Structure 1
Amino acid sequence: MFTTDFLVIGSGVAGLSFALRAAEYGNVTVLTKGEALDSSSAKAQGGIAAVMSAEDSFESHVADTLDAGAGLCVEQAVRTIVEEAPAAIDELLHWGVDFDADAEEPAGFELGREGGHSQRRILHAKDTTGLEISSKLLQAVRDNPRITLLEGHVAIDLITTAKLGLVTEDRVLGAYVLVKGTGKVEIFRSDRVLLATGGAGRVYLFTTNPDTATGDGVAMAWRAGATISNMEFVQFHPTCFYNKRADDRAGQTFLISEAVRGEGGVLIGADGKEFMHKYDRRGSLAPRDIVARAIDSEIKRTGNPCVYVDITHKPAGYMAERFPLIDETCRSYGIDPSTQPIPVVPAAHYQCGGVATDTNGQSSMRGLFAAGEVGCTGLHGANRLASNSLLECVVIARRALRTMLVKLPLAHPAESYPIPEWHSGEAVPPDDLAIIYHNWDEIRRLMWDYVSIVRSNHRLQRAATRLRILSREVKEFYWGYCVTPEILELRNLVTVAELIVDCAIRRNESRGLHYTMDAPERGPSAVPTTIHRW
């Protein structure tokens, strides 16, 4: 058994920034199932939203967030996170993050604008902002002797008093963890656990997310008994690169940042005509849910496989200077963005729901906290405003630590409950991985076909019926064979798919990212979709 003051599961911006702060007070263990930079944080292109200009204001940022969230944001959560943004930026600068500068701006930064924002307030590092932040935080973590970073460690399940059969207050005690290199299952004991596992984009056939985004944190929290909220709100990024080579379109797709439209890119059809004005007065800068549905509608109306982002009116060399990664990637596929419109389609991008928490990251279970995409603070409501996600990671991670130190002080550790070792029983090594891959593929295809941008009661019920069968098959596989990373991810995927579908069935209206043909209008009141395990 490994005992640590703070246990962090996940190595994105939320997990790493928390670890750096927590190390000032105790020992920290950070677990990540792949390599440390295998995260959605590291892939974030656009930037991090913060009020940094005299022309901007907290009220404006709050208003934009509330508007994008379609009436479902928790206003106090929005205000708290928005108002703590400047302090969060200062911390990132302290850790060495290098945002693009502009000496002519009072704050000294080049501020971008993205869809749904009424002002320029996006700090960025070219079009690899997430990688810049993640890399600097990771270096600081590796240099800190009080932080142990363990790659290739796959969390299986949270350990709780309830699972041990105890009748005292239900609380988290740590986690069972599979070590990839040895195949052994280890116990990591901690009274303070932060889930920072990111989202669940891999539950869909096409996604911008990395392979690691299999909803592990939400699934583990759900099995442990934590409350889950708003899982029906899956954000599809409207502009992902459309690759004509069908053999390459097998899962992950490259993101064409919303910042491209923020800098003047315009959405056009195959006929070269702009179409967004038909759907929203803000045109190509409308919030993502509106843009994604508009593109979906245009593709279905015209029969064309994609639409285009046109930024050819910018001077030669602009894309290579402002968006070097996007420019380089497009060129590798034979598209010159300076002279050719970029072909794009929507793809699953961000999970707005998750483990229900307050603005301190505290879940419904004592000792269990969540920060970043895995959590649901109420900031995003029914639709995330662009670049608010990295901001939420940093702010909630900081607030979570402060709450832990008050409610779970290190000087007064909780009773050391006995934790049994992991036993595989009569489980045997899996002998047919084809079954796992088939189930994985079926889950992702049915979610794409039935629980995508546009939904209906019939589609949701079909998805629910098939998921019940798949869930039974996966459970049999899990209990019959020794655990492997593939089995664990499949188990989490089917759980998250069920949660998304269950939440979607419960919402009998169209709001934000959840659009159903059977109830196309927004309901009279905004109520979160909350699911309790027990």
Structure 2
Amino acid sequence: MDTDIVILGSGVSGIQSALKCSAFADVVILTKDKMTESNTFYAQGGLAAVFGKDDSKEQHVLDTLRAGDGISNKKIASIIANGSPYAVMELSKIGVNFNKNNDGKFKLSREAVHSRARIVHSSDMTGREIEMSISKAARNNKRIKIMEHHMVLDLITKNNKCFGCIVLDLQNKRIFPIFARKTVIATGGIGQVYKITTNPAVATGDGIAIALRQDVILEDMEFMQFHPTMMHNSNPSFLISETLRGEGGLLKNSSGKTYMGKYHRDGELAPRDVVSRFSVIEMKKTRSKNVYLDMTNLDSSYLKKRFPNIYNECLRYGIDMSKDSIPVSPAAHYICGGIKTDSYGKTSMENLYAVGECACTQLHGADRLASNSMTEGLVIASRMSKIIRNRIKKAKLEKVEVVIPILSAAGNGRISALRASFRNIMWEDVGIIKSRKSLMRAMKKMMRIEEKIEKIKKDGTNKDVQELDNMITVAKTIIVASLRRKESRGTHFMEDYPERHDSIWRVHLTIDKRYLESKWKN
């Protein structure tokens, strides 16, 4: 199969890339589940964008830098802040219904580290509203071909140049190549690497893993963001949006006492890494498995109107959030690092681009500012389409020899057990609070799992095998990067090195295939 541009992923970044590129090229979107199954669909908060009278793009940049704990890229932050209003207006034109005031202007909410209310939202289902609207636009676009239930197994490369990808058709059980002049990775996050996560089942880090295997450079992989408030014991996992704390919600321990005020001047609206870490400390102090989010200081009718989805989900668990505190605990949420790109989504490999959570522009630094992620994805996708438009005319559709892997149905039972063990290791030893000892322990355990998966792979591959292999690859980069950074910064907290050291570590750490293999073996 041939196309001009193949896009791997169907979240906001992938679909926006497709919509933009369809103006000048034929586009194929690949997604391993149904089109709307992505992190975007489950996003509750909204888009950080400057619309308020008391706000400015300069202040948005400053807030981004503050959240990033010293290593966010100011130039990238400026690009995103400047592009944010246009990104929101484009979505409005597509048909996304954002909440508005009586005067027709966007309603704006506030989240952690934001010094102003600047979150454009659609109640507490912003991601769903965006995903459904842009998916509809893509389906109605004649130049976009959507291939659901197709999983990318590998990139087709030669001499640091990308020619497309190898794809597994999950419904018809066949593997085939897609050749393209440009390839865009927009596969989203890696949350499933951890036992407890806000991410859906599809978030297994596929794009990051296949890029690394072809020696594409990664960056900032030690910075995994944990969201402080996932509903405890929810199944499937259910995020309690940060906006609730922005509206006045208070975190309390199992003794009913508030605690964030004694740890940080911003209290409940401190950076996510701070709130998550001290929530864990409070849980250990009180020997409990969760803390509580108290919204009872707000009016019942307001809560129902502002947070209809969260309110109803809480009721499903027997919790009336206007009367009862919500049991919450931290969960793996967002990878701040990923495939290293410039401000146009260009990677270290020719003809290969990356955008969204799987990419690293250095915007997020050591900790992502709330609601900056979808904004970044939209802005970078727009910039990327412009540079692809200029370059695609000169790019030939080339074909190289491809080795098609063997498809196997074996090993699923063993894979399930290995996957559960692996995710538990990552949660226990490579989680919110790390140490050299815990990381080395995780590495040794991971090596044993890796040996077992390699034996299973000899019989061929399938979705389960490929996903676990991808997750292990991503986990290895997190462990190696975490061991390398001998300090604590943002989401990366090391018990051995609890302080931040700008004189040495105010840098971005990169990882390629060769470096990972050399450090993993030794």
Q: TM-score, normalised by structure 1?
A: 0.94
Quote the residue 1:166 is aligned against: none
Query: Is 1:337 aligned with 2:321?
Result: yes
Q: 1:111-163 CA deviation, whole Å, 9 max, x = no partner?
A: 0000110000000000000010111000000001110000000000000014x
- CA distance in structure 2 between the aligned counterparts of 1:358 and 1:295, rounded to whole angstroms: 35
Amino acid at match of 1:529: L
Query: Is 1:522 aligned with 2:500?
Result: yes
Query: Is 1:361 aligned with 2:351?
Result: no
Quote the residue 1:499 is aligned against: 477
Q: 1:244-301 CA deviation, whole Å, 9 max, x = no partner?
A: xxxx66xx52100000001111111222221111110111111101100110110011
Tell me the SS of whatever aligns to 1:264: coil
Q: Would you say the 8 A contact 2:94–2:134 is kept in 1? A: yes
Give the total of aligned pairs.
Answer: 512
- CA distance in structure 1 between the aligned counterparts of 2:154 and 2:48, rounded to whole angstroms: 34
Matches within 5 A, 1:95-134: 95-104=94-103, 108-134=105-131
Amino acid at match of 1:448: W
Tell me the SS of whatever aligns to 1:335: coil
Amino acid at match of 2:473: T
CA offset at residue 431 of structure 1? 3.2
Tell me the SS of whatever aligns to 2:165: strand
CA offset at residue 481 of structure 1? 2.2
Quote the residue 1:321 is aligned against: 305
Query: Is 1:237 aligned with 2:221?
Result: no
Q: TM-score, normalised by structure 2?
A: 0.96
- CA distance in structure 1 between the aligned counterparts of 2:489 and 2:403, rounded to whole angstroms: 46
Amino acid at match of 1:495: T
Quote the residue 2:511 is aligned against: 531
- CA distance in structure 2 between the aligned counterparts of 1:431 and 1:228, rounded to whole angstroms: 32
Quote the residue 1:207 is aligned against: 197
Q: 1:375-411 CA deviation, whole Å, 9 max, x = no partner?
A: 00011000001000010110111111111122x322x
Quote the residue 1:259 is aligned against: 243
CA offset at residue 421 of structure 1? 5.3
- CA distance in structure 2 between the aligned counterparts of 1:444 and 1:421, rounded to whole angstroms: 31
CA offset at residue 53 of structure 1? 1.3
Matches within 5 A, 1:131-142: 131-142=128-139
Quote the residue 2:4 is aligned against: 5
Q: Would you say the 8 A contact 1:202–1:213 is kept in 2? A: yes
Q: 1:33-57 CA deviation, whole Å, 9 max, x = no partner?
A: 0011110011000000000112100
Q: Would you say the 8 A contact 1:471–1:495 is kept in 2? A: no
Quote the residue 1:167 is aligned against: none
Query: Is 1:463 aligned with 2:465?
Result: no
Tell me the SS of whatever aligns to 1:379: coil
CA offset at residue 423 of structure 1? 4.8
CA offset at residue 9 of structure 1? 0.3
- CA distance in structure 2 between the aligned counterparts of 1:337 and 1:317, rounded to whole angstroms: 11
Tell me the SS of whatever aligns to 1:231: coil
- CA distance in structure 2 between the aligned counterparts of 1:127 and 1:49, rounded to whole angstroms: 14
Quote the residue 2:399 is aligned against: 417
Quote the residue 1:165 is aligned against: none
Matches within 5 A, 1:76-475: 76-104=75-103, 108-162=105-159, 170-243=160-233, 252-406=236-390, 408-410=391-393, 412-414=394-396, 416-420=398-402, 422-424=404-406, 429-475=408-454
Q: Would you say the 8 A contact 1:443–1:497 is kept in 2? A: no
- CA distance in structure 1 between the aligned counterparts of 2:221 and 2:302, rounded to whole angstroms: 39
Query: Is 1:488 aligned with 2:471?
Result: no
- CA distance in structure 2 between the aligned counterparts of 1:419 and 1:399, rounded to whole angstroms: 32
Tell me the SS of whatever aligns to 1:317: helix
Structure 1's unaligned 5+ residue stretches are 163-169
Aligned identity (percent) is 41
CA offset at residue 318 of structure 1? 1.8
Amino acid at match of 2:446: L
- CA distance in structure 2 between the aligned counterparts of 1:231 and 1:70, rounded to whole angstroms: 15
Tell me the SS of whatever aligns to 2:6: strand
Q: Would you say the 8 A contact 2:179–2:398 is kept in 1? A: no
CA offset at residue 465 of structure 1? 1.4
Tell me the SS of whatever aligns to 1:413: coil
**What is the CA RMSD across the aligned residues, in angstroms?**
1.3
